[in-house]
Structure 1
Amino acid sequence: MRVLAAVLVAAALPASAFASSRLLYLEAQGVAGYSDQEDSLIWHSESAEDVMQKSSVGFDFIQRLSGETGDFGLLAVQARLAYDPDAEDEIEPQLYNAYYKHKAGWADIWAGHSRPAFGLSSVLDSHALLLPTLAMHGFGFDRDWGLGASRDFAWGNLSASLTTGSGMPLRFEGNYLASLRAAKGILSQDNWELGFSVGAGETLHTMGYEVMHEEPQPFAMAGADFTYLWDNYEARFEAMGGTNRDEDAYALFARLGMNLLDEGRLKLEAQPEYSKIGEHEGFRFSAGPAWQLSDTLTLRAMGRYDEHDDELRAVLQVYYYSKVL
């Protein structure tokens, strides 16, 4: 709440007060689908307890801070008000990004709610997408509260973080997660990147804002990820193994995409995935198109088969994202 209050104050002040630039976007989405397991309409892309994706409206705010020598910091907040009639709380406030990033010269340092330095999800922004990464299925956290640092080199990137290991909620029950990721290659220049990650700590089993188990559980995992871009094709792979929730855990993941039409406005993706945490294991296959109808409006669809839950589901999303400031 303090971070959000600071952002609202910053937004209300004139730009001259900061010698900076700011961006404000309006975000809105409508989500609906069908599950053959539930034999009914659903209003979420994952589970009703999870945060993504649900019908929602919100904002994405970025404040760049600068001085005589240039930019020295960035403040970012992304928040939504989500609606899901299947959830315990039909209307749920969601705070997604909420961090300050400082350019220290030797590294970029962040504090708040951001991406921990673990796995493919640390470099792949999925906040608007229907297809989930492994972090959405219990292997790490898409966002977490804490501190992190990242530095780019000529050969790639090195990043580290120390976070609460609680994901969306901010909880202190003796839980923590220390993570490190080293990447070879620069995707924007080389069209490929190979990353290696390790993470260890005592983490909470959370699903969205719901805490599934009150006691922190051991987490010690290592993983490798690889991204390759070629012409209008994209390929992403990830493998993980170790201990998760005090159980043996493994995961394999691939996402294959093809961009069509002018400027890649139509994307077709397929995603096979296998995961195991203790006795909970199974294969998932997801696929679907994303069609950018305009600069502000995108239509996405996803079909998924989940072997563990023996479920087929289909989800449709209409996503709106527009600059207002």
Structure 2
Amino acid sequence: MRPSIFSCLREALVAQVKNITIVLKPKVTSEFESILPNLASWLHRRKKTVFFLSKEKERLTKLFKGDLKNINFVEEKNLHDNTDLIITMGGDGTLIGVSRNVKKSSPPIFGVNMGHLGFITEFSKVEFFDQLEETLRGNYKLTTLSLYQVEVFKKGKVIFKGNFLNDLVINNNQISRMLTLSVESEGEHIYNLSGDGLIISSPIGSTAYSLAAGGPIINPKVNAITMTPICAHSLTHRPLVIPDNTSVTIKAAKPDEMIKLTLDGQQAFVISSQETVRVTKKKSLNVRLIKNTDRTYFRTLKEKFTHGMRDTK
């Protein structure tokens, strides 16, 4: 009996997942003491080659009590080139840090949340082994998220380039000072914003800083970006949702103003009033996440915003 095309495709998917790289939440050891050696052994029994980032050697020596014979290492700059699956262990921030540097050939990411609740790290630390087993068998679905590019121009030349998955925050580089930003889209002036700053967020980032600043929740299936003022010095400046296939340009509206750009809360760059920021969607580059089929967007949304609430009964 000849195998069906579907079984052949499934076998091909399984065969592809050979090299697995595990990326850990930085500066934490105690919460990995039991789970990490167990995970590495579990993968080794399934004949998977396990990699960690080279910078983790010292921490792993403690966690594995010096026994690193089945552990391999990869440089961070080569993370997306030498692996078939990336497992992030931490929170949303750990996954976002990996996602910002994806390439066209990057593998899917399996996000394990080591805390109580993650928004894009969909798998719990207490129950992910069964779901990882299904992933290694080729039984998984993918969620695709867009990346956004930030470019800084000075006299027509690009002096900085970076990506964000969640949001770009633009504020004053000096403590407790209001700034004024000139904001344009596709060459058309939108407004001059006076206040503490501006958040430009993706749909998946709309539930983060933007929401805390009064922005709307945008479903990840909506192709849009949100511009949310931070403490605007005007009652007329409200969050604005625009199509994500348009560019946004921001610059200081006043001379001698220093502005700080923060990408996903992890990467910062300071610019002067002589420089211009442009934000565009990276059309040919996406982040592929292994989806937890036991969860839905609205279930996660409800749990995220009721988590920690006091019982009023």
TM-score past 0.5 threshold:
no
Q: TM-score, normalised by structure 1?
A: 0.24
Q: Higher relative CO (CA 8 A, sep ≥ 6), structure 1 or 2?
A: 2
